[in-house]
A and B are shown apart, each in its own frame.
Chain A
Amino acid sequence: MTEVKVNVHYLTRVEGHGNIVLNASNGKIEELRWEVTESPRLFEAMLLGRHYSDVSQIASRICGICSIAHSTASIQATEAAFNFRPSEQTVLLRRLLYDAELLESHILHVYFLVAPDYLGTGSVFPLIETHKDVVVRAIRLKKLAYRLAEIIAGRKTHPIALMAGGFARIPETGDLKNIRQEIVEAFPELEATAELLKNFKIPEFTRETEYIALKNDREYAFLSGQIASSDAGLSPLDNYLNITNEFCVPHSTAKYTRNKRESYMVGALARFNLNSEQLLPRAKKAAVELGLNAPCHNPFMIPVAQLVECFHAAEEAVDIIDALLSRGLREESFEIKVKAGRGIGAVEAPRGILFHDYTYNDGGIIIKANCVIPTNQNHNNIQKDMEALAPAIINKPEDEISQTLEMLVRAYDPCISCSTHVLKARITK
Chain B
Amino acid sequence: MKPKVAFFDFSSCEGCQLDALDLNPEELIALLGAIDIVNFREVMSEKSDDYDIAIVEGAITRESEIGRLQNIRQQAKILIALGSCACIGGLNCLKNHLPMEEALRIVYGKDAGYYDTIPARPLNAVVPVDYYVRGCPANPEELLKVIKAILLKKKPEIPGFPVCVECKMAGNICVFERGMTCLGPVIRAGCGAICITSGRFCWGCRGLVDEPNTESEKEILTKYGLSVDQIVEKFKIYNSYTEVAR
Contact = CB atoms under 8 A, between A and B. Distances in A.
A246 to B, nearest CB: 10
Given A63-B15, A417-B14, A58 B197 contact: no
B48 to A, nearest CB: 11
A125 B44 CA distance: 8
Contact of B107 (A45, A167, A417): A45
Contacts of B103: 42, 45-46
- The bracket for how many chain B residues form the interface is 35 or more
A163 interface: yes
Interface stretch (A108-116, A189-197, A285-293): A108-116
Interchain residue pairs A-B with the least CB separation, the first 4: A64-B15, A168-B199, A154-B198, A123-B44
Contacts of B12: 64, 417
Interface stretch (A8-16, A22-30, A202-210): A8-16
Nearest to B36: A125
A12 B15 contact: no
B121 to A, nearest CB: 13
A271 B11 CA distance: 30
Given A61-B13, A61-B91, 20 more contacts: A12-B42, A13-B41, A40-B115, A46-B95, A46-B103, A54-B233, A58-B91, A64-B13, A65-B15, A108-B18, A122-B46, A124-B43, A125-B32, A125-B44, A139-B28, A154-B197, A160-B200, A168-B199, A417-B12, A417-B14
A163 B23 CA distance: 27
Interface string B26-65: 0011001000010011111111000000000000011001
A186 interface: no
A122 B45 contact: yes
B14 A65 contact: yes
B61 A39 contact: yes
Contacts of B29: 128, 132, 135
B225 to A, nearest CB: 18
A48 B106 CA distance: 10
Contacts, number: 174
Interface of A: 10, 12-17, 39-46, 48-51, 54, 57-58, 61-65, 67, 108, 112-113, 116, 122-125, 128, 132, 135-136, 139-140, 142-143, 146, 153-158, 160-161, 163, 167-169, 248, 250, 253, 255, 417-418, 422, 424
Contact of A62 (B10, B13, B117): B13
A417 B104 CA distance: 16
A158 B234 CA distance: 17
25 contacts: A12-B42, A12-B44, A39-B61, A42-B104, A42-B117, A43-B107, A45-B104, A46-B94, A46-B95, A48-B98, A51-B233, A54-B233, A57-B237, A64-B17, A65-B14, A116-B44, A124-B44, A125-B37, A128-B32, A142-B22, A143-B24, A158-B15, A168-B198, A248-B109, A248-B111
Nearest to A14: B42
Interface in B104-163: 104, 106-109, 111, 114-115, 117, 136-137
A422 B106 contact: no
Nearest to B97: A49
Nearest to A371: B107
Nearest to A62: B13
B177 to A, nearest CB: 15
Name the residue among B95, B107, B117 with the largest chain A CB count within 10 angstroms. B107
B203 interface: yes
A12 B29 CA distance: 22
